[in-house]
Amino acid sequence: MSTSATGVLTRPEETAESPPPQRKRRLPDLRRWLSPLALLVVWQVASSTGVLPPDKLSSPWTVLQAGVETARSGELGDAFAVSLGRVAAGFALGAGVALVLGVAAGLSTWAGVLIDPPVQMLRTLPFLGLIPLFILWFGIGEEPKILLVALGVLFPLYLNIFSALRNVDPDLVEAAKALGYTRRERLLHVLLPSAVPTR
């Protein structure tokens, strides 16, 4: 700082020699990797010393070797494709049912009274407890696996759709009615877009 003839403090101009301010680089936090690495080390040591028998739990090194072998033989890719197909089928089934139930319960008071209470009760059931029941009902095939994935998708999506439709701004609905939108157009152009999360 310097003083001018009028007695006002003036700021000295930055010279070309003054280095530009440097931002501190944020280093990645490696502490979050400590516990997984420690767990792997303990697992490997326990397997090597015989504390964990290989017929109960294989060592991490054995698992890695088996993964490399199955990847080279092509079995890993085939198994991944089968699992991905199950996930896609379960997601499509669960999302479709959730969309129908959520829209019906969100738009109609009577449908909400009929649909929402059973869904709220069913979503509290533990999935692990449903596995033996699904095996008894549907056998050991693709059906119980796809249905479990569908249930895991159905309840969260239903709750979000139902809650979002019930909380749509009523001014938007009234504006759409004033513009002559039909019920279908209000659903497609006002209600569903308003229910989609923005972030």
Q: In angstroms, what CA-CA distances link 105 with 51, 57, 70, 161? A: 55, 47, 47, 9
Q: Tens digit of pLDDT for each residue in 46-80?
A: 988 888 888 888 889 998 998 899 888 888 888 88
**In the chain, where the domains are located:** 58-167, 169-199
Q: Are 110 and 168 in contact (CB under 8 A)?
A: no
Longest dimension (CA), the chain: 96
Closest CA to 102 of 74, 81, 123: 123
pLDDT at position 86 is 93
Choose the weakest-confidence range: 5-19, 83-97, 182-196: 5-19
What digits encode the pLDDT tens for the residues 2-59?
555 555 555 555 555 555 556 666 666 778 888 989 999 999 999 888 888 888 888 8
Once rounded to an integer, what is the mean pLDDT over residues 147-153? Answer: 90
